Structure 1
Amino acid sequence: MTTSSTSPARAGLAAIACYTIWGLSPIFYKLLGFAAASEIVLHRAVWSVPTLALVIWVARSWGQVVSVMTRPRTLGLLLLSSVLIAGNWWLFIFAVNTDRVLEVSLGYYINPLMNVAVGILVFRESFGRWRAAAVTLATIGVINQILTVGTLPLIALALAGSFTIYAYIRKTIAVHGRVGLFVETLILFLPSLIALSFIEVSASGHFLDGPWQAVLLILSGPMTVAPLLLFIIGARGLHFATVGLLQFIAPTLQFAVAVAYGEPFSAAHAVTFGFIWAGLACFAVSMIRRRKAAPA
């Protein structure tokens, strides 16, 4: 159901912008190829904090931040989710900077189907033939990747799995999205800052190499925060089914980026993606049918 505070048109534009940024973000992170994935993740954590602090200040949400800090269980869950999202960031950047954007795309195509599995196994949601077909086709696609390409798509499965678990944990925490994200980055801030200090002192860091490198590393903060804030706006003003369909924009753009950068795409890869896309088509049909069946 839509909310009165966010119009469907504004929410739709925000969601499209969010998934477009996520989809094209490999281009930005390829510019950061001069640094190791671990260094980039540390900078993302550090520079996300002042960006989010400004957002929290504008939204006057400091009271909510203080409230979270005084709830040990919530803080513990956010500690766990911060570790998961940091790992997801690292894996994503590592894949981009080692020319595996195609596998990143596959992972984020698989992600909504993993969410279906979690919904069925954890939240006891009804399966239905369309969702059953979606999960089955995706599974066949992964099996094809193993048998014909000869490799288990570990990066794709790890990206999809870590983000699915992250989303599940965040679903169980009654905290506003921007507040939860700020606390997560705040948890990561001090360890990241200390690690970056050691990296720079050991002369293996790149922040002081020149203004271009410094600016790009600083921009990793806003590049992390902006799409997440746009997602919050979109999710608040759109039906869940609409958000579920729009999320395919990101992996589709990632797929296009991978092809544009000349990553290998064989007939075996085409079969794998074909099964995944067929599964997503079934998933889309399922969401549309459930949306039509839902009360107004």
Structure 2
Amino acid sequence: MNKQQSGLLYGLFAYIIWGALPIYWGWMRQASAFEIISHRAIWSLVVCWAALAFRHELKEALRILRNPRMFLLLALTAGLVSGNWAIYIWSVTVDRIVESSLGYYITPLMNVAFGVIILREKMRKLQWLAVAIATIGVIALTYDYGQLPLIALGLACTWGLYSVIKKKLKVDPLIGLAIETIFASLPTIFYLTRLEIQGDAQFGNGLWISLGLATAGFATVLPLLAFNNAAVRLPLTTLGLMQYITPTVMFLVGVFINHEQMSGSRWIGFLTIWLALSVLATDMVRSGRPGDQGITQA
């Protein structure tokens, strides 16, 4: 197996696992969304730092943590990724997986918009066309839902801003997540302690729910490690195109496993978004410049 073939396998593993995670989070729905998020943060902290120790990168992580600018920016990205996790896991627990898939579909378009607004990047003609088509799709979905698709927009905005800041930081994804989970874990420790004192915690209230919560760190970190291996073996354009695998798997999970309803106008909205993404993908291939490194989730 050559370098590119192994890179494709790593990439497929990462993106398919990210897309299938709603099944995993839904399996633990007897716990509240915030208890799941709290365990995800704490166990991700443990797994990330163990992985850094295994890779002999603890010194590099601590060096970054001691840099005041990096410290503040990673505290900010920790808030964004925590918000993204909260919206995402809550959407799964209330059977809104299809809408959360929409959020990750429109994230690349949101990255383009934030690139223009924050980084002063210039949009190419096909990017303008993609954003215009996507706007029509969002309007169609707003009509269908009777309100703005707030879950989708929340996911796209938090992850889009997260991506823009991480793009400027140029920190290894695993090191970045390891530091972010320090900040994310601090409030969750108090929350979980309160749950335990009140007797409302689901952790320890059965083998399977406890096992599911305790392995949330592996579910978060393993696809990220696979993505890292794919990133050093594949062109960024290939990774940029592969990122659409994740929301597609999420969409299929929502429709065919979770049996969420898809009205005619909802199909029209999604078809319009898919058309916009095909235009964006065409621009990506022509220019050879993916909007980001194709990371769909942390």
Fold match, TM over 0.5? yes
Identity %: 37
**Equivalent residue for 1:95?**
91
TM-score by length of 2: 0.92
2:190 alignment partner in structure 1: 194
Counterpart check, 1:136 vs 2:132: yes
Are 1:270 and 2:281 counterparts? no
Query: CA deviation digits over 1:173-200, x for unaligned, max 9?
Result: 1422211111111222333223211111
- Secondary structure in structure 2 of the residue aligned to 1:179: helix
CA distance in 1, matches of 2:181, 2:121: 32
d(CA) in 2 for partners of 1:50, 1:262 = 35
Cα distance in 1 for residues equivalent to 2:172 and 2:252: 33
Cα separation, partners in 2 of 1:148 and 1:39, compared to 1, 3 Å: closer
Secondary structure of the 1:208 match is coil
Report 1:79-94 matches (<5 A).
79-94=75-90
Please give the alpha-carbon distance, in whole angstroms, between the structure 1 residues aligned to 2:144 and 2:44.
Answer: 41
1:214 and 2:199 correspond: no
Matched, 1:158 2:154: yes
Counterpart residue number, 1:119: 115
Q: Distance in 2 between matches of 1:159 and 1:18?
A: 19
Q: Distance in 2 between the 1:7 and 1:54 partners?
A: 27
Q: Which residue of 1 aligns with 2:293?
A: none
> SS state of the match for residue 172, structure 1?
helix
Contact 2:115 2:164 in 1 (8 A): no
Secondary structure, aligned partner of 2:87:
helix
Alpha-carbon offset, residue 53 of structure 1: 1.7
Secondary structure of 2:208 counterpart: helix
Offset of 1:290 from its aligned partner?
1.1
Given that 1:23 and 1:252 are in contact with CA atoms closer than 8 Å, whether structure 2 keeps it comes out as: yes
Verify the 8 A CA contact 2:99 2:149 in the aligned structure 1. yes
Tell me what 1:281 maps to. Answer: 278
Structure 1 residue 238 displacement after superposition: 1.8
Match of 2:29 among 5, 8, 33: 33
Please tell me whether the aligned partners of residues 43 and 216 of structure 2 are also in contact (alpha carbons under 8 angstroms): yes
- Structural mapping, 1:186-265, within 5 Å: 186-260=182-256, 261-265=258-262
**What's the offset of the Cα at 1:116?**
1.5
Going from structure 1 to structure 2, the CA distance change for 1:46 and 1:149 (only over 3 Å counts) comes to closer
Q: Which residue of 2 aligns with 1:71?
A: 67
Deviations 1:195-251 (A, max 9, x none): 211111111110021121110101111111112222222223222211111001011
The residue identity in structure 2 corresponding to 1:19 is Y
Q: 2-side partners of 1:205 and 1:148: how far apart? A: 37
4+ runs of 1 displaced by more than 6 Å? Answer: none
Structure 1-normalised TM-score? 0.93
Unmatched segments (≥5 aa) in structure 2? 290-298
Q: Secondary structure at the match of 1:237?
A: coil
> Alpha-carbon deviation of 1:148?
4.0
Aligned pair partner of 2:11 in 4, 10, 15: 15
Tell me the secondary structure at the aligned position of residue 127 of structure 1: coil
CA distance in 1, matches of 2:29, 2:44: 20
CA distance in 1, matches of 2:66, 2:137: 46
CA RMSD of aligned residues (A): 1.5
Of 232-241 and 129-138, deviating more is: 232-241
Distance 1:269 1:197 in 2: 42
SS of the residue aligned with 1:191? Answer: helix
Q: Secondary structure at the match of 2:203?
A: coil
Q: Distance in 2 between matches of 1:252 and 1:128?
A: 26
What are the ranges of 5 or more consecutive residues in structure 1 without an aligned counterpart?
Answer: 1-5
- Segment of structure 1 superposing worse, 85-94 or 180-189: 180-189
Contact 1:149 1:268 in 2 (8 A): no
1:168 partner amino acid: V
Q: Post-superposition shift, 1:123?
A: 3.1
How many Å separate the matches in 1 of 2:191 and 2:224? 25
The count of residues paired between Structure 1 and Structure 2 equals: 287
Question: Structure 1 residue 62: deviation in Å?
Answer: 1.0
